[in-house]
Amino acid sequence: MGVRLLIEFRDVSFTYAGSEQGKSIENVSLTIPEGKVTLLCGRSGCGKTTIGRVINGLVPYFYKGEITGDILLNGESILNKKVAERSGMVGSVFQNPRSQFFNVDSTSELVFGCENMQFPRDEIDKRLQETVDIFDIKELEGHSLFKMSGGEKQKIACASVSMPGPDIYVLDEPTSNLDMLSIKELSAVIMQWKAQGKTIVVADHRINYLRNVADKIILIDAGHVVWEKEADEFFSMSDEEAHAYGLRSLKESVSCKKRDSDEGKTVEDFIVKNLAFKYEDGTGIYVKDLRIPLGSIIGIVGENGAGKSTLVRCLCGLQKSSGSFYMGDKRLSQKQLLKESYLVMQDVNHQLFTESVDEEIRISIPKEKKAEQDEAVNRLLGDMDLSQFGRLHPMSLSGGQKQRVAVATALASDKKMLFFDEPTSGLDYEHMKEFSERLRAVRAAGATPVVITHDIELIALCCDHLILVSDGRVQWSGRCDEAALKKLEEHFESKSFRKNKAKGAKMKKQKSPAARIWELGESGHRQIISSVILAIFGVLAGIVPFVMASKILTMLISEQRDFNAYLPYIVIGLAGYLLNTFLYVGALGISHKATFKILKEIREKILAKLPKLPLGTMMEMQSGKLKTTIVDQVEGMEITLAHMFPEITSNVCGFFAIWIYMFVVDWRLALLAMIPLPVGMALMFASMAGYGENYAKSVEINTAMNESLIEYTGGIEVIKAYNQGNESYATLKDRCNANASFFYGWMNRCKTNIYAFIVMAATLITVCPFGWIFYQKGSLSLEKFLTIIVLSICVMGPILAIFDFVDQMAKMGTIVGNVDAILNAKEQDHIAEDDGKESGNDIELKDVGFAYNENQDAVLKGVSLRIPEGSKTALVGPSGSGKSTIAKLIAGFWDADTGSISFGGKDTRDIALNKLYDKISYVSQDNFLFDDTIMENIRMGNLKASDEEVIACAKASGCDEFISKLENAYQTRVGGGGAHISGGERQRIAIARAMLKDAPIVILDEATAYIDPENEALIQESVAKLVKGKTLIVIAHRLSTITDSDQIVLVHDGKIEAVGKQDELLKTSPLYKSMWEKHIGTREEVVA
Amino acid sequence: MNTAQEESRKMTVKDLITVGIFTVIYFVIFFICAMTGMVPVMAIFYPVLIALIAGIPCVLFFTKVQKFGMITIMAVLTAVLLFLMGYGYPGIITGLVLGLIADIIMKSGDYKSFTKMVIGYVVFSEWVIGTQLPMFIMGNAYAEQFREMQGDEFVDGLEKLISWGMCAVVAVCVAVAALIGVFIGKAVLKKHFERAGIV
Amino acid sequence: MNMPESGTEEVLINFDPRTKLLLLIVVNTVIISDSGSPVIWWLKIAFVILVFLLLLDMKKIKMSILYVVIYALAMLGDHILVSGSINGMSMGGLVLRIVVYLIERMLPSVMLAWFVLHSTKVSEFIAAMQKMHLPQTLTIPFAVIFRFFPTISDEYSSIQDAMKMRDIRFGTGIGRGIEYRMVPLLVSVTKIGDELSAAAMTRGLTTDTKRTSYCSVGFHASDAAAFAMMIAGSVLFVTGLIWG
């Protein structure tokens, strides 16, 4: 007891103005407890939405009508408070994200509420930063709302409603338009609000997402409160009970409810081949081969943005796409597709055109059947249960009725395929069931219904065939049965454990390469700017000689004989030329010095970054690529920095200076002189098309060649031993040739470039003839004519210089991209310095999810595990199940994407990386030995150890014997990669290392895989010594080695399938039992 | 309490949003019709086309919002949009003046009289000619430039085309089109909007 | 159809929306005028270049070059016509005359307007309007307008899709064509408007209270420069008109 009642309804009744159906809610008395989540549920039209509206004031101040009774907030009546007055206390989230937003971009929308409530600017700013953090929407800041997905929009809606900090949240069917992933995110938001102590009221049909969230559930029917239940009681209801109340299923997963006798009969198939379509932003779909059985009910599923709508639009012919479509044997064109398909849209308002339901159906009837029109119309009206609405305007009907009208028109049109886009998104159980009956009726009428839907219940009820679309591809297509439904669930689970890294990256605005290079060259900015200034003056000085030349020419023509008159012009011209040279050289000198400094800094930055990357990422990087980036590509920036900035800017200024002068002299010729420019530019752009891609490809081919070379020389042993010499060499040869021919081909294609240059600079082409005409007509003096001619020649220089560099620009994209890939790579997110507190060594994983990269499915899908200090734990499971990944995550190679890993209660992210690494010794199958002595190699475990300690460990791990037999004993150098030591010996050295380190946690990743039977006993002994008193985690395939573990963890498909001791597992887990039996079957001994 | 019976004279948030929406629709119609102005004849007669087509949304608009200033705001904002797209500001002035007059006319009938709506719409539709004013005003000065080179015949012909007389002709055509437009709008209102329940 | 979209481009140097309005007014007036005065002629050229620079400011290199090229061609065309080289009465001459007239009078204004629209966000416009003390009755519809352009575009294409699927069955003709497009559009848009109003009200939007503005607009150095230019320009313009 003692929960304050926040909101109280006292005998409230309300009738909407102009409603013929009487009271919408009647004598409603209920209480909404503070700080809890209350769910209002019931059939469509029961009044739950109205109750929500009473809270935020929309009833009765927006939806006018007659209201009686009172509503109290903390004991005070708020009935007379208008909507805006209540807005500070009540935040409302609606069903349809698209019509909630007042603004165009997300940031404006976030601050909208606060602006309306007159919050001062800094207060708004503060709240904005907090909200963005809490809701994790940094990537969405400032982006256009129109381009976001439904889930993102709803998230922004929730965030913006919470900005003014209301105490109460009212949500009206907020999940109607969301896919499963977004619904999960929404329920996380609600949990967050609850954690902040807010009061939340949700009215919805969909219930299972509130399973662990809702506290109190109120059932409404026909405007009355039927009952109130606590969450545990409510969620233990069976599905039948729920359906009886008109509610959707309460369980999280759904089982197939179809009866076999329901199956449709397949007549023929609708075949799609090589369908491809892309939007401007690059997203699109590609379907190689898809067969859809006509005559069945088809369901198309997939997360938002997967491409379902695009696919359907292409299938029904609304969208032009490449690919071929067949119905049975007949090939269909896009027009024919249109003729055979009909799409019932999510918003049916767009499809109803006429003034009565009757007419609407009538116009759909094909011309050939006009004679039997009346009969057909009446029949359809009856079938769809619309007979009493015949005369009414279609837009005056309810949503469900409108949908039936649309279906009726579809059936009337005799089309073979009927597509439905999210038809049941806002429907309660009964209506959804009715709809599934409707689908059966459509099927019976000979058409094929295809439904795009998120609604698993609908699928379970009636779909015959399922198509799963994800990432623009058809992932799976097949019969809809229990197994199919399971597959669906798994797909969505794996998706939800992958943080949407990819989306975030796409949304980031791309900086132009030049701007990025400018950024990277920060330290040299001043020098580069001064070189630019010098260069500008240099170019301007370079104009002077030409101007002087024109003056001299004029004087010559006017037969000026006095040499002295020429003198000043000559001198000035010469001076200008000299000045130009000096300034130019000076400018380039400065810029080069600055550039080399900058390049050095960039390389240093990269090298400094490398250690900060997650260990796992580093291990996966190809050394060839790394080398190319650090050495060659950074080198490529020299040209841009040292030449481009000063030369382009100065030449552009020069060009304008000359041209303005020309313009002032005679504007007509100045304009005419410029005409060849665009022509040349057009030619140039034509030849440059795809430069960027070509360059990127050239880097690719080059890298491939490099790698082939490295592999050939590195693996020459294997190649020779297996006599692959000729094949491997052939690959190498091929790649070298490919490299060369690629460049030849490219050069060839660039011939046009040269022509372009020629044309562009040919300013005289237009100047001479037109100038002559003007001169003849008397509108141009000789002096001016000559000046223009000389200047036209002068202007060619800058033009050519500028376009020379445009060439370089294209390269920049690739270079900057590669450099940035490293500089901006995700670092491990650990705090830099430890707070000194020791954290204990109990390891715990909570709901950990992880994927290696954004393009792959999650490897771990919600792993929870406890490993107490000092225990021996074994991770077993089939290949690829994720056991190595779990070990690597514990060792700190990567950070988990979702969930948390903690040591002694402290999250690993709160532990400094070096402290984390101190805790763990990781011994794996391949053991790297450095190019150093054995002594030093073992000492790697603890650099402070003395020689005696090293030898002691070597003895304990069983290495001492073979080491002593070597030439230099411990001082023997083991070559790069430790090439002269056998596998078993290497293993023992690695174990010695681990012993020396003496870390509290030891992870053995199939560390005994290599060992020959002789040494196995030795190794077992040394390992036993190593792990005495420590926490041991073993990953093993050979199950007999881990039978004594304190806990054996069976990992399967990214999840923990079973945990326990050997005998427990043998009893409880069939998978473990079968693995065990297979294992001992290969051994002669029988293990007890 | 019964909130359905309260009504104020001032515009509510809902009214203002409705004004915004219908302004967009009117603007789109305007733009499409003005684009037909590529054909020289239409450059002079596009206001007629607008008056005809815009009848449908306008009648709906007048029925939904019945507050003073609705037409003025719509006209002014449309003109401002045009200005922001580079088509000059004379439209703002005619929009303001004629819009106000239309508002006053309709208000006198409390926005409920159909006759007043007809007159109001006709008056309102004339504002579009304001966007053509530069053409009429400057046109003569422009034509004069050519008198030396091209001769009187040509210049006179051009001048007749952009004369004030032509402007009057356009105004009359607009009035007629507006009349037709309003009746079409009313018919569509009865046939669809009232029965659909969105009025 | 090109829907006006506001504030979608990045600008290197930005101006207060009120300055941009002033720019629009002055440049518009000057460019349209037909006076033969040489002062005004040079003023026009100066403004054409100003617009070019503003487009560059928006990093739209291709567009600004195209704009200047087209204007230059128009100028040349005008010169040809005036000098009488082509018969002004012929079909070709007439077309050329109209095209040149339109380009010279309208292109700079349209490009400047494009600059203004695309470099200013709606919230910046609203903030400026509020600073100018314009009433809510103007600012709210203004904001709604920009928000609705994309919406109407979407709705319309949905309707078109729907019509495509049923097209042959319709008795076509302009009348029906317009009816079938407008009616669903208006119904749909009205419904969205209603939902939007309800949502906006729950966010505290009213007609009485003044709103604060998160987006800040204010005058900076660039505005001062622009103002100076406009004042100089206006003075020159008036001088040109009076004294020729």
DSSP collapsed to 3 states, A965-987 = HCCCHHHCEECCCCCCCCHHHHH
Are both C138 and C208 inside the same structural domain? yes
Question: DSSP string covering A890-927, please?
Answer: HTTSS--SEEEEEETTEEGGGS-HHHHHHHEEEE-SS-
The C-alpha atoms of residue A866 and residue A723 are separated, in whole angstroms, by 50
Contact: B21, C143; criterion CB under 8 Å: no
* Average pLDDT in chain A: 81
Are both C109 and C127 inside the same structural domain? no
Tell whether C235 lies on the interface with B, counting CB pairs under 8 A.
no
Are both C221 and C179 inside the same structural domain? no
Radius of gyration of chain B (CA): 19
pLDDT per position in chain C (244 positions), as tens? 456 777 777 777 888 899 999 999 999 888 888 777 788 888 888 899 899 889 888 888 888 888 988 898 888 888 877 666 666 556 666 677 777 877 888 899 999 998 998 888 888 899 999 888 999 889 999 999 999 999 999 899 888 888 888 764 455 667 777 888 889 999 999 999 999 999 999 999 988 888 888 888 888 888 888 899 999 989 888 888 887 6
Residues of B in Cβ contact (< 8 Å) with C117: 84-85
Using one digit for the tens of pLDDT, what is the confidence trace for A646-661? 888 888 888 888 888 8
Chain A residues 305-364 within an 8 A CB cutoff of chain C: 313, 316, 318, 338-339, 341-343, 345, 347, 349-353, 363-364
Question: DSSP string covering C14-44, please?
Answer: ---HHHHHHHHHHHHHHHH-----HHHHHHH
How many domains does chain C contain in total? 2
Query: pLDDT-based confidence at A507, cuts 50/70/90?
Result: very low
C80 within a domain of the structure (yes/no) = yes
Using one digit for the tens of pLDDT, what is the confidence trace for A959-990? 788 888 877 778 877 765 445 677 777 777 88
Cβ atoms of A472 and A307 closer than 8 Å: yes
Residue A602 tokens, joined = 């960039």
Tell whether C74 lies on the interface with B, counting CB pairs under 8 A.
no
* Confidence (pLDDT) at A1011: 60
Are both C22 and C108 inside the same structural domain? yes
Query: pLDDT-based confidence at A503, cuts 50/70/90?
Result: very low
Q: In what order do the strands lie in the sheet with A1031-1035?
A: A920-923, A1001-1005, A1031-1035, A872-876, A1047-1052, A1055-1060
Tell whether B33 lies on the interface with C, counting CB pairs under 8 A.
no
H-only helix segments in C33-60: 38-57
Mean pLDDT calculated for residue range A893-915? 79
Contact: B17, C1; criterion CB under 8 Å: no
Shortest Cα distance from C165 to chain A (angstroms)? 6
Residues of C in Cβ contact (< 8 Å) with B137: none
Are both C116 and C127 inside the same structural domain? no
Classified as helix, coil or strand, A518 is helix
Chain B residues 159-198 within an 8 A CB cutoff of chain A: 191-192, 195-198
Are both C30 and C103 inside the same structural domain? yes
Chain C residues 174-193 within an 8 A CB cutoff of chain B: 178-179, 182-183, 185-187, 189-191, 193
Smallest Cβ–Cβ distance between A67 and the set B1, B196, B197 belongs to: B1
The Cα-based distances of C165 to A276, A410, A413, A432 in angstroms read 22, 10, 10, 26
Residue A578 tokens, joined = 């000299």
Please check the confidence at residue A506 and state whether its pLDDT lies above 70: no
Chains adjacent to B (≥3 CB pairs closer than 8 angstroms): A, C
Residue A749 tokens, joined = 């294609």
Tell whether C112 lies on the interface with B, counting CB pairs under 8 A.
yes
Contact: C193, B196; criterion CB under 8 Å: no
Using one digit for the tens of pLDDT, what is the confidence trace for A240-298? 888 888 888 877 667 777 665 556 566 778 888 888 888 877 778 888 888 888 888 99
Please check the confidence at residue A502 and state whether its pLDDT lies above 50: no
Classified as helix, coil or strand, A464 is coil
CA-nearest residue to B60 within chain C is: C186
Please check the confidence at residue A834 and state whether its pLDDT lies above 70: no
H-only helix segments in A316-428: 334-340, 357-362, 373-383, 399-412
The Cα-based distances of C159 to A318, A343, A346, C162 in angstroms read 12, 12, 12, 5
Residue A550 tokens, joined = 């024109």
Cβ atoms of B89 and C25 closer than 8 Å: yes
* Confidence (pLDDT) at A510: 55
Mean pLDDT calculated for residue range A591-614? 83
ipTM attached to this prediction: 0.88
Contact: B195, A60; criterion CB under 8 Å: no
* Confidence (pLDDT) at A505: 40
Contact: C201, A352; criterion CB under 8 Å: no
Are both C129 and C242 inside the same structural domain? no
C84 within a domain of the structure (yes/no) = yes
Contact: C201, A84; criterion CB under 8 Å: yes
Shortest Cα distance from C78 to chain B (angstroms)? 11
* Confidence (pLDDT) at A1: 43
C116 within a domain of the structure (yes/no) = yes
* Confidence (pLDDT) at B177: 94
Q: Which one of C67, C81, C214 would you mutate to disrupt binding with A, by most A Cβ within 10 Å of its Cβ?
A: C214
C3 within a domain of the structure (yes/no) = no
Residue A853 tokens, joined = 């990269």
What lies within 8 Å, CB to CB, of A328 at 6+ separation is A268, A269
* Confidence (pLDDT) at B160: 67
* Confidence (pLDDT) at C87: 60
What lies within 8 Å, CB to CB, of A924 at 6+ separation is A1005, A1006, A1007
Contact: A395, B197; criterion CB under 8 Å: yes
Domain ranges, residue C181: 122-214
Are both C182 and C150 inside the same structural domain? yes
Tell whether B36 lies on the interface with C, counting CB pairs under 8 A.
no
What lies within 8 Å, CB to CB, of A436 at 6+ separation is A458, A461, A462
The C-alpha atoms of residue A445 and residue A463 are separated, in whole angstroms, by 16
Q: Which of A83, A75, A77, A76 lies closest to A59, judged by CA?
A: A83
C7 within a domain of the structure (yes/no) = no
Q: Which one of C30, C32, C144 would you mutate to disrupt binding with B, by most B Cβ within 10 Å of its Cβ?
A: C144
Query: pLDDT-based confidence at A1007, cuts 50/70/90?
Result: low
CA-nearest residue to B195 within chain A is: A393
C6 within a domain of the structure (yes/no) = no
Are both C224 and C155 inside the same structural domain? no
Using one digit for the tens of pLDDT, what is the confidence trace for A393-419? 888 888 888 888 888 888 888 888 899
Contact: C187, B25; criterion CB under 8 Å: no
Tell whether B14 lies on the interface with A, counting CB pairs under 8 A.
yes
Q: Which one of A15, A395, A401, A402 would you mutate to disrupt binding with B, by most B Cβ within 10 Å of its Cβ?
A: A395
What lies within 8 Å, CB to CB, of C192 at 6+ separation is A98, A99, C151, C155
Contact: A99, C165; criterion CB under 8 Å: no
Tell whether C134 lies on the interface with B, counting CB pairs under 8 A.
no
Residues of C in Cβ contact (< 8 Å) with A363: 166, 169-170
C107 within a domain of the structure (yes/no) = yes
Are both C176 and C196 inside the same structural domain? yes
Using one digit for the tens of pLDDT, what is the confidence trace for B123-161? 999 999 988 887 777 666 666 655 555 556 666 666 666
Q: Quick one: DSSP state of residue A249? A: P
Residues of B in Cβ contact (< 8 Å) with A18: 4
Mean pLDDT calculated for residue range B79-95? 89
Chains adjacent to C (≥3 CB pairs closer than 8 angstroms): A, B
Chains adjacent to A (≥3 CB pairs closer than 8 angstroms): B, C
How many CB pairs below 8 A link A and C?
A: 168
Q: Which of A1024, A101, B129, A1011 lies closest to C147, judged by CA?
A: A101
Q: Which of B99, B82, B126, B167 lies closest to C28, judged by CA?
A: B82
C9 within a domain of the structure (yes/no) = no
Shortest Cα distance from C117 to chain B (angstroms)? 7
Q: Which one of C179, C186, C195 would you mutate to disrupt binding with B, by most B Cβ within 10 Å of its Cβ?
A: C186
State which amino acid sits at residue B130: G
- The residue that leads in pLDDT, B60 or B8, is B60
The C-alpha atoms of residue C147 and residue C126 are separated, in whole angstroms, by 13
Residues of A in Cβ contact (< 8 Å) with B2: 64-67
Smallest Cβ–Cβ distance between A100 and the set C161, C164, C199 belongs to: C199
Tell whether B8 lies on the interface with A, counting CB pairs under 8 A.
no
Shortest Cα distance from C114 to chain A (angstroms)? 18
Are both C77 and C192 inside the same structural domain? no
Are both C160 and C79 inside the same structural domain? no
Cβ atoms of A435 and A326 closer than 8 Å: no
Q: Which of B47, B54, B30 lies closest to B132, judged by CA?
A: B47
* Average pLDDT in chain B: 85
Span of A575-589, A1044-1058, C145-159, C196-210 with lowest mean pLDDT: A1044-1058
Helix (H) or strand (E) holding A1001: strand A1001-1005
Classified as helix, coil or strand, A948 is helix
Smallest Cβ–Cβ distance between A61 and the set B3, B197, B198 belongs to: B3
Backbone phi, then psi, for A283, in 5-degree steps? -75, 155
Contact: B191, A396; criterion CB under 8 Å: no
Count of all residues that appear for chain A in the document: 1088
Classified as helix, coil or strand, A652 is helix
